[in-house]
Structure 1
Amino acid sequence: MNIKENDQIPNSEVFVMENGSPNKIRIQEFLKDKKVVIFGLPGAYTSVCSAKHLPGYVNMFEQYKEKGIEHIICISVNDPFVMNAWGKEHNVGEKILMVGDPFLNFTKAIGADVDKSARGLGVRSNRYTMLVDNLKVTKLQEEEDAGSCEISAAENFIKLV
């Protein structure tokens, strides 16, 4: 990844679903003056993402809130419709903001893009979790292998918050 601790989040356009329609947001505008956790992953409905990464943050939502986290954001290179459907399937409700980065604007800006074409997935995001406080990355954990979810997992990352 190009982004490091103490760097500022790039002002990329991403998408969220609002009232059944995709809505483009500028990530800096959304994160300004907030303390958030962002976790990025290779793709909605993929095995490790569905079995561990997303469910971990859903299950630990209250513990993160108790540590002053205002939002938990899940971002993937999928479109906002897919992210929304995947979130509903995992009962994220208001706990996790499901963000689509279908054009890899944010993913490429932070240097998290990885080519998974050999596995039939195309260009995806590596697996990571970051703590962002008023646009500044204060903690960052990136997995060496996107198929692994250890240091970026909710139960491990919370120790850094």
Structure 2
Amino acid sequence: MTIAKGDRLPSTTFATMTENGPEQIASDDFFAGKTVALFSVPGAFTPTCSARHLPGFIDKAEELKAKGVDVIACTAVNDAFVMGAWSKAAGADGKVTMLADGNGDFAQAVGLTMDGSKFGLGTRGQRFSMIVKDGVVEELNVEAPGDFKVSSADHMLEQL
């Protein structure tokens, strides 16, 4: 079942890259007491994700925070090493927190997976964004396959 506005996010675990290597973080702890602008991409370093999706959130980070967002986070079905390298390459450090969903547990738990097998990607998370307040989904924007419209930073700014 796909998550919906008003639902509490399921309890899963992400990994983040730190100076000491990958560290696990419980989703309940990450979202507790904060307003989080979360977006999901099918994969780090992939064309639309790298050229438009992540850069939009980096560029609009201050505007999002001015509208009440405490943390901007990106998740993908990639490991923490890849997400850490992508963050550095894109200049996201300090602006966007990378949440590695290495096994796709979060994507599966929220019911937003996609089959990228024909591109050699296997099961991935769909392209979406959500505004999460204290663990509850306040806004949810799921893209149609191949689209990049409603999950953008610009669209999210209009919702805040």
Classify the TM-score, shorter chain: over 0.9
Residue 148 of structure 1 corresponds to 147
Which aligned segments of 4 or more residues in structure 1 are displaced greater than 3 angstroms? Answer: none
C-alpha distance in 2, partners of 1:124/1:76? 7
Q: Please identify, of 56-65 and 117-126, the stretch whose mean Cα deviation from structure 2 is larger.
A: 117-126
Percent identity, aligned pairs only? 36
Residue 64 of structure 1 corresponds to 64
Corresponding letter in the other structure for 1:150:
K
Q: Per-residue displacement from partner, 1:25-79 (whole Å, max 9, x unpaired)? A: 1011111110011000100000000011000000000000100100000000000
TM superposition shift of 1:22 = 0.4
CA contact (8 A) 1:43 1:77 kept: yes
TM superposition shift of 1:116 = 1.0
C-alpha distance in 1, partners of 2:85/2:147? 23
Residue 36 of structure 1 corresponds to 36
Residue 51 of structure 2 corresponds to 51
Give the TM-score of the pair, scaled to structure 2: 0.97
C-alpha distance in 2, partners of 1:119/1:81? 21
Residue 130 of structure 1 corresponds to 130
TM superposition shift of 1:99 = 1.0
CA contact (8 A) 1:48 1:148 kept: no
Q: Secondary structure at the match of 1:29?
A: helix
Corresponding letter in the other structure for 2:158:
K
Task: Structure 2: state its 5+ residue gaps.
Answer: none
CA contact (8 A) 1:41 1:127 kept: yes
Q: Per-residue displacement from partner, 1:112-141 (whole Å, max 9, x unpaired)? A: 111110121111111000000011100000
Question: Does 1:113 pair with 2:113?
Answer: yes
Task: Structure 1: state its 5+ residue gaps.
Answer: none
Residue 157 of structure 1 corresponds to 156
Q: Secondary structure at the match of 1:74?
A: strand
Q: Please identify, of 117-126 and 67-76, the stretch whose mean Cα deviation from structure 2 is larger.
A: 117-126
C-alpha distance in 1, partners of 2:91/2:58? 8
Q: Secondary structure at the match of 1:159?
A: helix
Equivalent residue pairs, number? 160
Corresponding letter in the other structure for 1:155:
D
TM superposition shift of 1:20 = 3.8
